[in-house]
Each structure stands twice: as structure tokens, then as C-alpha cells.
Amino acid sequence: MNPARLILAVRRPEAGETAAESIAMSPGINRRPEVWKLDMADLASIANAGINPWEFKLTETDGLEQCVQVNAIATILLCAMLIPLLNHTADLPSLSAKFPFQPHLTIVSSGAHLSLGELEGLEDGTIFHRANLKENYANAASGNGTYAKSKTISLMAMPEMVARTSPLVLVNAVDPGLIHSDTLRDFQGLAGLMTRLLYKVYARPVEEGGKAIAWPAIASLDKSGMYCTEMAHRPSELVRSDTTGQKSAAIWKELASIWRDKAGVDLR
């Protein structure tokens, strides 16, 4: 894989420059990736990488719980804003004539979503209101419920994304597994220590995680809306329970209200 143009959208430009330099020095690569700043803790800047924070915190700009904002609200907003471009790209004659390739939209998910049995607020449209309450926050020491919730929201919003994309665009989600990264930087106490030990023993190198993410972003899959993982499991029962798409539509309705109020973007 040697793309004509590769853009690294990152929260911290200095980290992006380091990654770009490493990629540019790889064998067979003859172009240096571009580095763009994208702060998903500020919805208006989306006009990064996921996080798993230890402590409850509201984002400074939008006043939303940071884990749910970055992993769900902002991630899905970015995807929604890319859909028109992907649909347009899918119809370009030059693409279909020269390259046997479909535009892909790949969301990084997590097997952690399997631990969430219920998405509170789904029935009455208060998912994100509840997520903003400190008493509802659950970090890795208390079941990792908020992180699991954020990943579940993204998966349950995917059918609505698929409905808005061209049949020529492939939308999917990927669980790359346990990967060495700096997502544990905020972890504290005994639970934080145990989690770090777990990662040290079982986590895969970053390069392997990158391959797991890159594969569904370029592969010719059977259909859109797939959940891709090397592990032998399907999406959670909660995610699969949305057989009519009504739950996905309800989540999208809540998200659209936040996007409109916080970022001035109307994507109903």
C-alpha cells in the first residue's frame, strides 16, 4: 500500500510529525504524509484517536463528558461530514475506470463494547444527558462502562450512516484488539497498575494494530455495515438487537441536536 496522498489527522501535531517521519522512511514509500490538526474534544474544529480517561471531566469548549464526546459524538460527526465527499468520490468515472476500489469509511471500535448490556437513555432520548452526570461515570476500575458506552454508541449509529451513503461506499467498524498505546496515561492506583501489566503481557505492537485497522479500510468486503475483528465474536447482543434501525435513528436524532447546538452543523 503506497497511497498517492496520506493525511494524518491528529490531536497533537508534534506526535503526527513523528509518525509521518517514520512512515516516510519505510521501504517502498515515496511520499511523506501530510499532518493535519484535528481536536475531537472541540466539536467546532471538526468542521483522533479515541480516549479512555480515568476521571470524569467535561470538555472545556463543549461542556460534554470527554470520553463520550471524543469516541462517539465527535467521531460520528466527522464521519457524517465525510459522507457527501465519499458519495461523490464513488461516482467519479476516473475512479471506477482506473482503480478497482471503493471508498471506505472505517471506524475504530473496541471489544469493550461487549461488556455493556444496556444503553441507558435510549428509550427516552437522554443518552448524552445521562453521560454528562458525574455519578454515571464508570472508569476502568469500575467496569469501564463509559468507554464501553462510547464504543457502543458508535456501533449503533452505523446503520444510520450506511443508510446515508451510496451503495458504492463501504462503511465498517474494526476492533484492532489490545494494542500498546498511550490510552493508559491517565490510569491510576492499583487498577491502573494491573491494567498496565495486562497490556504489557497481552497487548500487540502498534504496527500490528495499524495493520488490523488498515485491512478493513482497503478490503473488498461483502457488504457495508460490517464489524471486523480477528476475535471470534460478533457485535454485542445490544448492538444486534436493533433489527429495524429505530435505535440507530434515535441515537442519530440525539447526536444531530448536539451537533447543531455545539458546532452549528445541521445533519438531521
Please write the tens of the pLDDT for every residue from 6-47. Answer: 888 887 888 889 999 988 888 888 889 999 888 777 786 665
Please write the tens of the pLDDT for every residue from 190-241. Answer: 767 777 777 777 778 878 888 888 888 888 888 899 999 876 568 999 999 9
* Better-scored residue on pLDDT, 117 or 194: 117
In total, how many domains does the chain have?
2
Locate cell 499532518: which residue? 35
The grid coordinates listed for 70 are 471524543
Residue 49 has pLDDT above 70, yes or no: no
User: Domain range spanning residue 26?
Assistant: 1-37
Contact 47, 265 (CB under 8 A): yes
Helix (H) or strand (E) holding 13: helix 13-24
**Does residue 268 form part of some domain?**
no
Alpha-carbon distance values, 156 to 52, 105, 129, 162, 255 (Å): 19, 15, 18, 11, 12
Residue 189 has pLDDT above 80, yes or no: no
At 205, which CATH number?
3.40.50.720
Tell whether 15 and 98 lie within a shared domain. Answer: no
Note the pTM of the prediction, 2 decimals: 0.84
